[in-house]
Amino acid sequence: MPAPRGRGSPINPAGRFERVSLSIDGEHLDAELGERPEGCSLPTSVREDHARTIINAVDSPDLHFRWTINPYRGCEHGCVYCYARPGHEYFGLSPGTDFESVIFAKRGAAELLRAELSDPSWKAETIVMSGVTDPYQPVERELGIARSLLEVLVECRQPVSIITKSALILRDLDLIASLHEHRAIHVAVSITSLDNELSSRMEPRASSPRARLDAIRRISSIGVPVAVMVAPVIPAINDHEVPRILEAASEAGATSAGTILLRLPHQNKAIFRAWLDRHFPDRASRVESLVRQCHGGDLYRASPGERFTGTGPFAGQMRATFEVFARRFGLDRRSPAHDRTAFRPPRTDGRGQMSLF
């Protein structure tokens, strides 16, 4: 079956919480496909997300931050490997193409953030934007929710770290510069490949590798600490590119780097294998075998201390390669800590309404 044009997942399996799933007779499907153009397009649908809170607590021993903000749920970038895909199953949707084409937008996010930052108990700890979606996915160009959140963060001088794989972040360079005046901003740009063809297969609606390197260059040129995230590393797909990615990012101005091994929770396993069979049928079984070698024979283990790095000789070899070249290109340093002392509560009455004083 032809995958929808511009989408990452080649399948749209039923959510794991659904009691009923649909199977279609193969001959009927072949007849239907014979009347449709190869790789027909699938439009994006935006739905309202009536969230009651916007700052989310994170409780994971593998992460060095405690708070996140997500302007959206779902992500148009369509990264086939995205660990956040299973989140759509809680809405009765599929982690496959539904995750990429049905986007939940938190249009009231800025008002929620303003109210939550005005809480006297808030201690101006670093917030990461985002944890389960890219704040600069294509729909952001029209909706501007991420920018509205940044405007509140600038007003409060609230420390934030932004993670993205989109050059759209350059639209907000003015706000990033304002936060940098108070040492309250870090940026991480994710680069999984320097190969345009491979990148377009893995991340069909994300910015090109060249555009991401340009984003690193322009953001770092104003003094903002920029990290490159080489994530995920996929055995026999992009692991050989790690040294070149680190070198290119260093030349563009990145000052630190991070990496994460491929993660395949829940139905991501089936989605990723279907993608492999479509794009790399000659090595699909080998890739799966190497992934299993990194997880003790399983396709994924969520154990703390293991899920990001894997275990075993092959995982250790990939990790050692990353560390050697990160050190060689000066990317083995931590970004300087945010300055929390400049924080000031938003000008509200504590309920999201602007104060006169």
The mean pLDDT value of the chain amounts to 91
pLDDT digits (tens, 9 = 90+) for 314-344: 999 999 999 999 999 999 999 999 999 999 9
Beta bridge partners of 48: 105
Kindly tell me if the per-residue pLDDT of 280 is higher than 50: yes
pLDDT digits (tens, 9 = 90+) for 292-304: 999 999 999 999 9
| Contacts with 255 (C-beta within 8 Å, 6 or more apart), sequence order | 220, 225, 226, 227, 330, 331, 333, 335
Handedness of CA 349, 355, 356, 357 (dihedral sign): positive
Q: Which class does domain 44-328 fall in?
A: alpha beta
- Beta strand residue intervals within 51-120, DSSP E: 55-57, 67-69, 72-73, 102-105
Residue 18 — pLDDT band, cuts 50, 70, 90?
A: low
Residue 64 — pLDDT band, cuts 50, 70, 90?
A: confident
Is-above-0.85 flag for pTM?
Answer: yes
Peptide bond connecting 232 to the previous residue in cis, omega within 30 degrees of 0: yes
Kindly tell me if the per-residue pLDDT of 189 is higher than 90: yes
Tallying the residues shown for the chain, one arrives at 357
Of all helices (H) and strands (E), which one includes residue 187? strand 185-190
